[in-house]
Amino acid sequence: MLTQKQHELLCFIDDRLKDSGVSPSFEEMKEALGLKSKSGIHRLISALEERHFIRRLPNRARALEVLKLPEGGVSDIPASNVVPLHQEAPVREVISSHPPAANNDILEIPLHGRIAAGAPIEALEGQSALSVPAALLGPGEHYALEVSGDSMIDAGILDGDYALIQKTEVARDGEIVVALVHEEEATLKYLRKDGGNVQLDPANPAYEPQRYGAGEVRIQGKMAGLLRRY
């Protein structure tokens, strides 16, 4: 059984995967559904996962797979026909068109210490390396940072995870970036550009956004993947 919001979110995720092959961010889902908090998206994702409509791909940030859709698909269903609460929707199994990359190669990338998912802390340069499946990385040069803190939990990034970062000095609005603040402190946050200012948004309602002038923040990379050890 799907509520209206669950159905809308499933449609949005499926459409985005078909268009770009990349799952939308929690912030993009929040804006698409008109919700005030990403915690609501977290609950909807969990509900769809429990009902086996979607699944989270392991060890990858922002990686969702649609397992089944309402009968007849979703792209042609108008909003007025969404399934209301307590009405069971027939479902059909679908084969995902976005499976994880079939690449068993292991790469070693530099491990540059810890980065805050909370109040900014120093990202230390180091000589350590981290072994990473090549399937988790895209093109370009990469490095890894160990996550410290819980401000990105609604994006599925937990304390102790390893953030896999693509080196870049530019990023689009809404991407998760490594931001160097005042040339001394680094933090992992959503990037928001507001005129001549920069806002670094957490993915946890317990934390406030951080606002800086454009000259106070320098992008050092953007999130490419996530590695979690158990």
State the catalytic residues. Answer: 151, 189
CA–CA dist 83, 43 (Å, integer): 18
CA 163, 117, 43, 199 torsion-angle sign: negative
Q: Are strands 106-116 and 142-148 parallel, antiparallel or unpaired?
A: parallel
Q: Which residue has the tokens 């929690």?
A: 26
Spatial contact of 68 and 168, defined as CB atoms under 8 Å apart = no
Q: Rounded distance, CA 112 to CA 146, Å?
A: 8
Please, which residues have CB within 8 angstroms of residue 82's CB and are 6 or more apart in sequence? 2, 4, 7, 8
